[in-house]
Amino acid sequence: MTITATALSTSEEQDGTVKYASIGSLELEAGGFLPDVVLSFETWGQLNADASNAVLVQHALTGSTHVARGATDEEGWWEQLVGPGATIDTNRFFVVSINILGGCYGSTGPSSEAPDGRPWGSRFPLITLRDSTLAEARLADALGIDAWHAVLGGSMGGARALEWAVTFPERVKRCAVISVGAYSTAEQIAFAQSQTLAIRQDPHFNNGDYYGGPAPENGLALARRIAHITYRSALELDFRFGREAQPQEKPLAAAVLGERGRYQVESYLDHQGTKLVRRFDANSYIAITEALMSHDVTRGRGSLSEALARASAEFFVAAVDSDRLYFPAQSRELAEALPGDVPVHVIQAPIGHDGFLTEIGQLSAQLRSAFFA
């Protein structure tokens, strides 16, 4: 289903189901060009007459647009926050979630068909979060949304929300930035590069032109293992797994190196890698990981305070206390550079970075009071 500005149905029967919008061509920040961009998205609730109740919820790196169940049976990834009667009450608000440009859940990405009928593959251009914001603004235009009541997200979703507030200040009234800072640090870029190299060095990667043949599944699974270690805290891994062996396996019994059994934590990471391989495209993982590398709200905008002074939104900043990927100090730096007195709300969770998903309910009362009363 491709929409135009006048052809969108927002009936309850379509809540939580994927729709598609063609938004035209895009000249990209890094110099590339996409001739015909499609964005996939989901919506919940009804847009009111003056389009003042629209809320944009941005997904994280490998997340989908499925924030809440809606008319489907599939559980959403922010059920604690979005739905009828929830903090973001879909009986009152029109919620939109958009698959990022470069993704593999329906938006134009490396696996999409290029003008010559073949997948983009290695020819897919470098994109930045600013490119994705520009594309999403065109979709907002098509939906008849001049300004968002609120834009919010966690991790990469929070970076996307912040970019929206600074790039289009007149279009964002409220902005929640959760579990991410104002820019990707050198360490975060280093972790990201190790993941993209894991994929690129897979024998089946074929410079990104693997469609129609074996996919670089081992490389993608390894990338996920690396990432997942940063998503969970050392305390959580120790508590859950310690030094225990995987059942029926013996890590310290092997005549040669390649025959030893696994520790439980190794089996856990293997499982996480396998799960991602079943649902995600390796080229998209590279494309949006490198888009997240580009995250820097100050680029071309002066100092951090000068860049953030462009925004006119009310801000809500939050961090997970045990996060070792996007440290709480980065959230404090962001809050201190924003105009006015912006507190940093804290999710208390031993799990680590993923607490922005599993424990988001801890922020329900604060978000409701700040943005959705």
Catalytic residues: 155, 323, 353
- In angstroms, how far is CA 322 from the centroid of its own chain? 20
Could you tell me which residues are beta bridge partners of residue 314?
A: 174
Residue 164 contacts residue 171 (beta carbons within 8 Å):
yes
What is the edge-to-edge ordering of all strands in the sheet holding 314-320? Answer: 2-3, 19-27, 33-44, 94-98, 54-58, 150-154, 174-178, 314-320, 344-347
Alpha-carbon torsion (107, 112, 114, 115), positive or negative: negative
Residue 61 contacts residue 153 (beta carbons within 8 Å):
no
Residue 344 contacts residue 221 (beta carbons within 8 Å):
no
CA-derived radius of gyration, the chain: 21
Contacts of 365 (CB under 8 A, 6+ apart): none
Alpha-carbon distances of 314 from 150, 177, 209, 329, rounded to whole Å: 9, 11, 44, 20
Residue 159 contacts residue 295 (beta carbons within 8 Å):
yes
Decide: helix, strand or coil at residue 329: helix
Tell me 360's DSSP state.
G
Contacts of 90 (CB under 8 A, 6+ apart): 15, 44, 45, 68, 70, 82, 83, 84
